[in-house]
Amino acid sequence: MARGFRLIFATSLLLALLGLCRGSTIGVCYGRNADDLPTPDKVAQLVQLHKIKYLRIYDSNIQVLKAFANTGVQLMIGISNSDLLPFSQFQSNADTWLRNSILPYYPATKITHITVGAEVTESRNNASSMVVPAMKNVLTALRKAGLHKKIKVSSTHSLGILSRSFPPSAGAFNSSHAFFLKPMLEFLAENQSPFMVDIYPYYAYRDSPNNVSLDYALFESSSEVIDPNTGLLYTNMFDAQIDALYFALMALNFRTIKIMVTETGWPSKGSPKETAATPDNAQTYNTNLIRHVINDTGTPAKPGEDLDVYIFSLFNENRKPGLESERNWGLFYPDQTSVYNLDMTGKGAVSMTTETNVTSSNGTWCIASSTASEMDLQNALDWACGPGNVDCSAIQPSQPCFEPDNVVSHASFAFNSYYQQNGATDIACSFGGSGIKVNKNPSYDNCLYMTTGYVYILSQISYLIF
């Protein structure tokens, strides 16, 4: 009897420890505020191709939920601020939404979190008072369906919810939000749901470059910032902002609530005054972020603490208002080509400098023009892979450049190969107006675009062999 009890206890302890040792995760936000994005089924293929296992969407779009069925990708879905009123007023609205929008697709589509409202304190029509009632109604609907322990309910916040974030140990919530924060935090603690926050060191640097160094914002700092109250040393702004939230929670005696970063990232392009918005900086920030998170480094105040982080965003979104940077946070262009190289596992080579060291002699590549028709691109692709004598094996199924499987991507690879093989001249990139020269290496993942230097090396090898 005692032996059986010990076995049960040991098994339970092992399972508990396995849960505790789950490790930190990296996900990506799939925003859709654009009119030129690929269909959800194509996006699902892209996400799986790049080994993205966690995805945040901002609604419960049926086509998206269907597209990610049986993919193994875990989804965070959202209820928008505009829907908070009906969700907060009547339980039946939450019940109906769950029954019609979620249950038909679950568990084939792995939904793990529901965000109820997004950065409500930042919206013009502050809907803060509706958030907690809406969260409670959604949780009740999940409980009725037996899913309240499988799907966590929370709401996202901007860092503006803090009145003070430096030094981190002095982190404090804005007292003007106390009326809804206290019941929310009680809800999160009671249901073991995370405190969700959107963190952007980019904005801290952009808005105060005299006080925040670029290296500190990019995880590249060789110096340390000391918290005078705790003596803790900070080498990056991300950790400092996370710890400010931990200290703010602890000040209100909420010590068990975990933090989840539901948005962070760096733009690859901006307006003339946004000089830090570059592909190099975006790649550096996200690469260092991924490595920092995947290594389970934790923060100075919470060393080794798990932290789930979502990078914003999957695509550049051309309908977002505001400065140029707002439309350029994507890891991918709408044609599914990479804005810059990024290894989502945190294990591979990262440096864009390494990639761009292998350049063509004149620093240019040839890709398909975004203004060319699909028919023109297909005709030019057929010509390049036929009479043009381009080796197009790399864009065949199961080969490195087959995905994304579309004519723009395949034509770009073939156009560039022809261009480099034929002296990288203007006429070698014409393709009847379907080609365009660029000075940014279009290589991505294991798909390497040919360069003039590479062609020369191959010719020398061929000469030596034969």
Active site residues: 119, 263
Tokens 């009680």 correspond to: 186
In angstroms, how far is CA 111 from the centroid of its own chain? 17
3-state secondary structure the chain: CHHHHHHHHHHHHHHHHHHHCCCCCEEEECCCCCCCCCCHHHHHHHHHHCCCCEEECCCCCHHHHHHCCCCCCEEEEEECHHHHHHHHHCHHHHHHHHHHHHCCCCCCCEEEEEEEEECHHHCCCCCHHHHHHHHHHHHHHHHHCCCCCCCEEEEEEEHHHEEECCCHHHCEECHHHHHHHHHHHHHHHHHCCCEEEECCHHHHHHHCCCCCCHHHHCCCCCCCEECCCCCCEECCHHHHHHHHHHHHHHHCCCCCCCEEEEEECCCCCCCCCCCCCCHHHHHHHHHHHHHHHHCCCECCCCECCCCEEEEECCECCCCCCCCHHHHCCCCECCCCCECCCCCCCCCCCCCHHHHHHCCCCCCCEEEECCCCCHHHHHHHHHHHHCCCCCCCHHHCCCCCCCCCCCHHHHHHHHHHHHHHHCCCCCHHHCHHHCEEEECCCCCECCECCCCHHHHHHHHHHHHHHC
Torsion of CA 239, 77, 182, 232, to 10 degrees: -10
Neighbours of 183 (CB within 10 A): 15
Q: Are 328 and 316 in contact (CB under 8 A)?
A: yes
Determine whether 281 is exposed, middle or buried from the number of CB atoms within 10 Å of its CB (0-12, 13-18, 19+).
buried
CB 313 within 8 A of CB 33: no
